[in-house]
Structure 1
Amino acid sequence: MSGERRASAVDESRRAVIDTNLLVRYLTEDDPSKANDVKRLLLKAAQDEVRLLIPSVVIAELVWVLQSFYKLERSEIVPLLNAIVHTHGVEVSDKSVVSGAIALYRDSAMDFIDAWIVAFAEEAEVRSIYTFDRRHFKGIDGIEMMHP
């Protein structure tokens, strides 16, 4: 596992985890000074001076913040998420699940967390989800919604 992560040209000591608030400042530019700080950090990552790690939970929190506080629509959020996930020098944990959740969120009426659950099930090759909220998962092919 660590060999896979060390494939980057970035020295192990130059890796760092980033928090949701950095992405919020960068994407919303509500604090121009902080947005510029994050932009410089992302440029360092793009130049392999640092490797930025984003825990997948940060992506989920980012969606919640952008929807709840900034009132962005999913059509505005999806391109932002895709840009983050595909930024050179940025490593998102559970990238295939995150990408699947973004696609489901884009293509359905599901909220992001429900899309995440479906993407996780698909990645794990599980075809059943136990839930009390069957209506949240309507129209998902190949996944059976079950009641406990």
Structure 2
Amino acid sequence: MVISEIVWTLGSYYKFPKKKVLRTIQGILHLSGLKIVDEYDINKSLALYESHTCKYIDAMIAGMPGVQSGAWNIVSYDKEFDKLGVKRVVPAKLLK
């Protein structure tokens, strides 16, 4: 989640354009000694964020291996997920 907070802060607070945010994150990821410990594919997430008009947090969720493989559905009313090529289920449909 720290990466998503950095992306949000650079884009919202500091008003960095998306390309500058991506360059900054890539620079951070190449720091020696840095180890990413998480259940999502950061490279896939960054690629989705770069190629789509979406929030980084949505790209991060869509970049999770379970979501990418189709094994997991995203349960959300957020239609932005539809442009990311993942399966989305509206919560109300689960209650039927």
Tell me, yes or no, whether TM beats 0.5. Answer: yes
2:11, 2:17 within 8 Å by CA — same for their partners in 1?
Answer: yes
Please give the per-residue CA displacement for 1:50-94, whole angstroms capped at 9, x wherever unaligned.
xxxxxxx21111111111110011111111111211222211222
What 5-or-longer segments of structure 1 have no aligned partner?
1-56
**Corresponding residue of 2:58:** 114
Give the Cα–Cα distance (whole angstroms) in 1 for the partners of residues 76 and 39 of structure 2. 24
1:85, 1:95 within 8 Å by CA — same for their partners in 2?
Answer: no
Percent of pairs with identical residues: 27
* Aligned ranges 1:113-132 → 2 under 5 Å: 113-120=57-64, 123-124=65-66, 125=69, 126-132=71-77
Please give the per-residue CA displacement for 1:72-126, whole angstroms capped at 9, x wherever unaligned.
1111111111121122221122285222211111111111000011012xx1233
Moved over 6 A (4+): none
* Structure showing the higher strand proportion among its residues: 1
TM-score, with structure 1 as normaliser? 0.53
**Corresponding residue of 2:87:** 144
Q: Which has the larger radius of gyration?
A: 1
Please give the per-residue CA displacement for 1:26-58, whole angstroms capped at 9, x wherever unaligned.
xxxxxxxxxxxxxxxxxxxxxxxxxxxxxxx21
What 5-or-longer segments of structure 2 have no aligned partner?
92-96
Higher RCO, 1 vs 2 (CA within 8 Å, ≥6 residues apart): 2
Which of 74, 77, 99 is the aligned partner of 2:43? 99
Q: Quick one: which amino acid aligns to residue 10 of structure 2?
A: L
1:137, 1:145 within 8 Å by CA — same for their partners in 2?
Answer: yes
Distance change (3 Å), C-alpha of 1:86 and 1:94 = farther
TM-score, with structure 2 as normaliser? 0.79
TM-superposed deviation, 1:138: 2.8
Give the Cα–Cα distance (whole angstroms) in 2 for the partners of residues 58 and 80 of structure 1. 14
Query: How many residues matched?
Result: 88
